């Protein structure tokens, strides 16, 4: 089960509850009113929505599923020499 905070462009936050086991996707507005209800979806469909849509536009509020950010390599970039500005 995933709980997501989806920030809207008009300063509103919608709550999205996704459950891969039940195959449901529920969207609540800022007044906690149900505005979208999708049931009967497969696990793959819900996972696809979570991975390709919610990961981009929403913030996962489940702390146990969130992985810490990983920095693999950090280097200072070296600018190119441009003869035009020399």
CA triplet 32, 38, 43: central angle to 5 degrees?
A: 120
More reliable by pLDDT, 53 or 62: 53
For residue 79, what pLDDT band results from cuts at 50, 70 and 90?
Answer: low
3-state helix, strand, coil in the chain (%, to 5): 20, 35, 45
CA atoms in the 13 A half-sphere facing the CB of 42: 3
Cβ–Cβ under 8 Å, residues 14 and 25: no
Cβ–Cβ under 8 Å, residues 28 and 49: no
Q: Is the pLDDT confidence value at 64 over 70? A: no
Cβ–Cβ under 8 Å, residues 16 and 34: no
pLDDT tens for 35-50 read 999 999 999 999 899 8
| pTM for this prediction | 0.66
pLDDT for res 8? 86
């Amino acid at each position: 089960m995933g709980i997501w905070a989806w920030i809207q462009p008009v300063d509103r936050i919608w709550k999205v509850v996704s459950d891969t086991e039940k195959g449901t996707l529920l969207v609540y507005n800022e007044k906690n009113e149900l505005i979208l209800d999708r049931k009967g979806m497969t696990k793959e469909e819900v996972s696809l929505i979570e991975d390709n849509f919610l990961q981009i536009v929403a913030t996962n509020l489940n702390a146990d599923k969130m992985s810490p950010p990983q920095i693999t390599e950090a280097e200072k970039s070296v600018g190119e020499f441009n003869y035009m500005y020399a």
